[in-house]
Amino acid sequence: MSNIDRPLSPHLSIYRWPITMALSILHRATGIAMSVGFIVLAAWLFDIASGPETYAVFLKYMDTLIGKLLLIGWSFAFFYHLSNGVRHLYWDTGRGLEKEQATRSAWLVLAAAIVLTAVFWWVAS
């Protein structure tokens, strides 16, 4: 039944990456990153409940360079997923789906995510 000579449509590798495509996969990537972050959030709460000694271990891991980088990554993932999520909800109303509109909202979402992440760490420090 298979016909290996049949014509194939152009696949992913042949396209230049438009910003909308990059943001689409980034939405999924940040979602998965936060699913992992959910475990750390649960660990934070569980370690607080377990007492000061256990909590100190949690803080020790988070205070490393890798821990800090992960926290910065999760904060960006959160603000990006949130901003792009609002874009998705707006799309669900049937608006903003034209190519030019989607490209414009893509840059807006990226800017919002970066600004919100920066404001978050500025307030936190």
Partner 1 sequence: MSLRSPLGRVLGLGTAKDGTSHWWGQRVSAVALLLLGLWFAFSLATMDSFSHSAAVAFVASPMNSLLLLLLIVAMGYHSYLGVQVVLEDYVHAPGLKLVSLLLSRFAHIFFAVAAIFAILKIGLGA
Residues lying near partner 1 in the complex (CB under 8 A): 28, 31-32, 34-35, 38-39, 41-42, 44-46, 48-52, 55-56, 59, 75, 78-79, 82, 85-86, 88-89, 92, 120-121, 123-124
CB of 28 to partner 1, least distance (A): 7
3-state SS, residue 93? coil
For the bound state, the minimum distance from the C-beta of residue 110 to partner 1, rounded and expressed in Å, comes to: 18
Identity of the residue, 60 or 104, whose beta carbon is nearer to partner 1 in the bound complex: 60
Distance CA 110, CA 87 (A): 11
Q: Which two tokens stand for residue 86?
A: 């609002």
CA 108, CA 8: separation in Å to the nearest integer?
35
Q: Are 55 and 61 in contact (CB under 8 A)?
A: no
> Shortest distance, CB of residue 91 to partner 1, whole angstroms?
11
